[in-house]
Structure formats: C-alpha cells, structure tokens
Structure 1
Amino acid sequence: MGAKLSVNINKIATLRNSRGGNNPDLIKAAMDIERFGAEGITVHPRPDERHIRYADVRELKKIVSTEFNIEGNPQEDSFVQLVLEQQPTQVTLVPDSRDQLTSNHGWDTLREAEYLKSIIAVFREKGIRVSIFVDPVAELVRAAKDCGTDRIELYTEAYAHNYHSNKETAIKDYITAAQAAAEVGLGLNAGHDLDLHNLKYFAEHIPNLQEVSIGHALISDALYLGLQNTVQLYKRQLAV
C-alpha cells in the first residue's frame, strides 16, 4: 500500500478570501476531496488569516472524516491553543515566521532540541500525533527522535527544484534521511512542491513513506483537470 495523500486546502481559502463571501465553499471542497479519495485534509493557518482562518479550522474539524492535519508555528500561542482545542489527528510543526510567503526550511533539531522537546510534549500529552518539518539531513533526522516527535516531514523543495536536471542526485539525500528515520523508529511524511511530474519517482524511492501533503500544485492542476480527476491522478502516483 502506498503513502496516504493529504490535500492542503489553503489555496482554496485564498481564492475565497480574494472576493469575500463563501465562493468557493471551503467546507464543501474538503468534503468532496475526501469523497474523491484523499486520505487526509491539511491546513496551515497563519496569524494574519490570509488563507485558512481559525474559524475554518473549527468548522473543518466537525466534518473531516479522514485524517485532519494542522500545520503551523508553535511559537504562536494562538496556534498552540487552536490545536489543543480542536484535537486534530496530527499537528505538523513548521518553523516559519509571520511574514513568510510559504515554508522554506526545517527545524534545527540539534540547536532547538530543548524547545522542541517541551512543545512536542504539550501536544502528545493530549494524544495528538506530532510531526516536525525537517530538512533531508540524516543527523537532524536522528536528533528529531530525541525531541520526542512521532514523525518527521521531509521538506522536499530541494528535491523538486533539482528533479528535472538530475533526479538521482536530487533524491539522494532524501533516501539517506528516510533510512535514518527508519533506523531510529520515526514515522515519515513529506511535502512541499511535490507534483504530478516528480511525485511518483519520489514515492518509488523513499522507504517507509507514510504520507505526503500537497496543496499548491494539486489545486493548480485541478483548474485544468478537475478536482476529482486530479485527486485520483495524485493517488495513482503514490500507488507503488
């Protein structure tokens, strides 16, 4: 069985917010994405609520029937409180700043170990599975285990950027990082810039991949291919 597909619906919220009102309907879209075969819904609320709003998270929790994954920076107290209040299947901790356009690096699990241990414990105490964003560096992956996380999410922007020029080189560090995760008993997720061109190769070569979170590329493809068809195409890439 291949890795699960969790669809990040931030971009649907961005489109809705650009005109006000409720078109497209974020809640209906999430329900349809699940109905079309996705095994999870991901959201990444930010303090300025420029796409997903905190109110959206509360409404989504009522209707998501697959895995609900909330991403964000735990250094924002409001984010921590939202996650503890809503009790998602998984929280993914990402070290992004308030003004970042999108996530662009993982945690330094060595330098930030004490902070990560303390904040991960807060979520795990409530029975929430924790995943932390990590760059594909074996040393940082091994150190993530000592921080108490259940899983890591490999930040795949570098892989996606280099895939077309040399896919073997692009994936090399990710294979090593995945092997390190398996050695220390960490679950493995991945995300950022994965798409219909590079996803299948990634899924075929990364051992023990459990989940990918994909948003921007999938929603963009849906403009041309239709949402139902696009979800199925992405799932097909993971059926390795």
Structure 2
Amino acid sequence: MTKLSVNINKIATIRNARGGNTPNVVEAAINCERFGAQGITVHPRPDERHIRYQDVRDLKKVVTTEFNIEGYPCKEFIDLVLEVVPAQVTLVPDPPTAITSNAGWDTKANKAFLADVIKTFQQKGIRVSIFVDPSVEMVQHALETGTNRIELYTEPYASLYPMDRERAIKPFIEAAKEANKLGLGLNAGHDLSLENLAYFYKNIPGLDEVSIGHALISDALYLGLEETIKRYLNQLK
C-alpha cells in the first residue's frame, strides 16, 4: 500500500503570519493522523519561515506514524535530524533561500557528498530518501550513494498533466522501474493533488509513499481536513 504523508508546512506558514500559536501545528499533525494520514512531513529551513526547529522537536513527541523531515543537509539541519531521529530524512538540493524545492539532486556530481551525509544518518538508524528528477541516470547514480529510497520530484508531471497526462507520466514510469530493478524504495512528491494523484498512483510501480502539503492543505480550506485526507486516501486505492 502507498502511504500518504501530509506535509504541514503550510499550517506553520499561516501561524507565523500572525505570531502566537494559532493554528497549532502539533494539533494539526495529531488530527492528520487521527483522520488517516500514515505519516507527517516537515521541511524546516534555517530562517524558520514556516516550520521552526522547535516545532520539529515538539512533533517528535507526538507523531505516532512515520515522521519525515526533509531539507537541505547544511550543518544545522544535520544536527537537528540527528537530535530528533525521525523515521525518515529526505534530502533536497534547494538552498536555504529557495521558496520551495524546484529540482532533484544531480546524484552523479554530488555522489560523494550525499554518500557521506547518508551514512551519517543511517548510523543513527534513520532511513534516507533523496530527491531526484525522473531520470534513469540519476536513479542509477542514486544507488551508488547508499540511499535507502529516492523521492521523485513530481512538479513536471503535475504541470504537464492537464495537457497530456500520458507524456507527463512516461519519464516517471521509466525512473520508477529502474528504482524497482535496483532495489531502491520509491517515494514521490511536489504538486501532487486530487486532480492528478490517482493517475500517478495507478501508473507508478512500487510506490511506497507520497508526500503532499500545499494542495492538500489548500483543499482543506474548502473541504475540511478530515474530508480532504479521506479523499486523498481514496486516490491511493
């Protein structure tokens, strides 16, 4: 079964706009799990413009499903992950100033760097996933880093889906098949939504997990969080 991990960064963005603790990200995570989410994802950045480092520490105490921390492996991020010890860490190549992730790792050029960071996390018993573009070559070089999983960066799929969904999905199928062949676990995320998730799920072999934040939290403004999570879970059946 493909797990749904809910990225709650947008909850923190709303909270930070006014200060205080409303909405409460810890309560939001508890509710996501109560409504059926099988994981909670956060992406803390050094400027703490959404999820704060203390949020990560607080969430570790209450998350009972899979806790996934994603981010660029700068020293502060590495130290935080080693302190909290989540179930999974997802490494993304975006610099601290980026608005959102916008590309996968060049796993060939960054192989030595990634291998060193991955080993550090694995020694703490943390499963590691690395963000990659839907490229067979990048998947092959990802294997050489020692990572447990890859996460396919799905924004190109989401952008092309309304015009030509078969063309949009093609490189992702090829990358997924290569990951399956190499024994890599397979995650996916970025701009997946109620519009495009079911088609992606039905066509991608061996999909372990999807991480969805922006679209899901936006849908929840109209549908409510419980109904929204129910609908996303239905897309994964």
Q: Secondary structure at the match of 1:37?
A: coil
Q: Secondary structure at the match of 1:68?
A: strand
Look up the match of 1:10. Answer: 9
| Alpha-carbon distance in structure 2 between the residues aligned to 1:53 and 1:177 | 33
| Alpha-carbon distance in structure 2 between the residues aligned to 1:99 and 1:206 | 32
| Alpha-carbon distance in structure 2 between the residues aligned to 1:44 and 1:165 | 30
Of 81, 100, 122, which aligns to 2:120? 122
Give structure 2 stretches of 5+ with no counterpart: none
| Alpha-carbon distance in structure 1 between the residues aligned to 2:132 and 2:207 | 14
Look up the match of 1:20. Answer: 19
| Alpha-carbon distance in structure 1 between the residues aligned to 2:69 and 2:34 | 20
TM-score by length of 2: 0.99
Look up the match of 1:44. Answer: 43
Identity of matched residues, %: 64
User: How big is each residue's C-alpha offset from its partner over 1:39-80, in whole Å with a ceiling of 9 and x where there is no partner?
Assistant: 000000000000000000000000000000000000x10100
| Alpha-carbon distance in structure 2 between the residues aligned to 1:220 and 1:120 | 33
- Opposite residue 122 of structure 1, the aligned amino acid is T
Of 124, 130, 133, which aligns to 1:132? 130
Look up the match of 2:53. Answer: 54
Look up the match of 1:32. Answer: 31
Q: Secondary structure at the match of 2:41?
A: strand
Q: Secondary structure at the match of 1:220?
A: helix
- Opposite residue 11 of structure 2, the aligned amino acid is I
- Residue 144 (structure 1) shift: 0.4
- Residue 99 (structure 1) shift: 1.0
- Residue 23 (structure 1) shift: 0.6
- Residue 83 (structure 1) shift: 0.1
| Alpha-carbon distance in structure 1 between the residues aligned to 2:116 and 2:54 | 27
CA RMSD of aligned residues (A): 0.4
- Residue 142 (structure 1) shift: 1.1
TM-score by length of 1: 0.98
| Alpha-carbon distance in structure 2 between the residues aligned to 1:99 and 1:24 | 24
Q: Secondary structure at the match of 1:139?
A: helix
Look up the match of 1:166. Answer: 164
Q: Secondary structure at the match of 1:153?
A: strand
- Residue 125 (structure 1) shift: 0.7
| Alpha-carbon distance in structure 2 between the residues aligned to 1:102 and 1:111 | 22
Of 173, 198, 207, which aligns to 1:200? 198
- Opposite residue 116 of structure 1, the aligned amino acid is L
Of 97, 110, 115, which aligns to 2:95? 97
- Residue 98 (structure 1) shift: 1.4
| Alpha-carbon distance in structure 2 between the residues aligned to 1:41 and 1:98 | 21
Look up the match of 1:87. Answer: 85
Q: Secondary structure at the match of 1:200?
A: helix
| Alpha-carbon distance in structure 1 between the residues aligned to 2:232 and 2:156 | 20
Give structure 1 stretches of 5+ with no counterpart: none
